[in-house]
Amino acid sequence: MDLAVSGCGIGLRFSHIDQILEERPPIPWLEVLTDNYLVEGSVQQDYLLEVADHYPLTMHGVGLSLGSVDPLNMDYLKRLKALADKVKPAWISDHLCWSAVHGMHTHDLMPLPYNQATIEHVSARIKQVQDFLGYELIIENVSSYLQYKTSEMPEWVFFSEVAESADCGMLLDINNIYVSAHNHEFDPETYLNTVPASRIRQMHLAGFEDRGTHLLDTHGHPVPDVVWALYEKALQRFGPVPTLIEWDNNIPTLDVLLREASKASDMLQQSGKVM
């Protein structure tokens, strides 16, 4: 089947798999939460292989811990490669963060200090992952709630330099940019105007919660108007980049999710017309 990815896809969630396989709705592509499907011979992996027969897939993980000082987990990488060999994703992505240290997992995506030493450390690990997998790795910006005293540059410069140094792609999460911009009081459009357009392979859209003192990236709500507005700005700069609706908590019915995707699809089509 055609593995090309374009338009607006949705995240594949367990609660929707049976309906997707039975009804085969016209979804342009599906993003798979890699870490849910790594067990060889599991029911989950069997379901995924059936889905892969009908839809283009991308693989999106949280387990590489690219910013950690621990050695890369080679067992994880081997299982990741084995899954990719089976489902033939259009690309593989993970996050620009650390999530494990001394063998302990934080179950969160922790930000990094934005300095030259971290750029060199992370880019070397990304190159190692790319060489092992045989895929260009797509790295995503995370939302953040703290900053390091050792940071020497803003996040958007750091992100750009990591991608250039590692020669990898970028997954631009528009919601995460908005959340971090609010929490750290910077202009989100500066972020969009700085990152290299040639590196942007995909964008994410999601919802957040306003906790009063800060915004919290929850992926549990519809995309808010302020994120749609920032997405429109991103499309003006980057054009119709493949986009995904992320909804991981309080997961709605499939038709609600597809309506969100339809809104993004309309915006993508319009951006293509004005390019």
Residue 195 corresponds to which tokens in the numbers above?
Answer: 């990152």
- Band (275; pLDDT cuts 50, 70, 90): very low
> What pTM, to 2 d.p., does this model score?
0.94
Taking all residues of the chain, what is their mean pLDDT, rounded to a whole number? Answer: 93
Answer yes or no: are the C-beta atoms of 188 and 226 closer than 8 Å.
no
- For residues 103-126, give the mean pLDDT: 87
* Number of other CB atoms surrounding residue 116 within 10 Å: 12
* Virtual torsion, Cα 178, 179, 185, 191, nearest 10 deg: -40
> What pLDDT digit, counting tens, does each position of 53-73 carry?
999 999 999 999 999 999 999
Determine the CATH number of domain 28-274.
Answer: 3.20.20.150
Band the pLDDT of 273: cuts 50, 70, 90. low
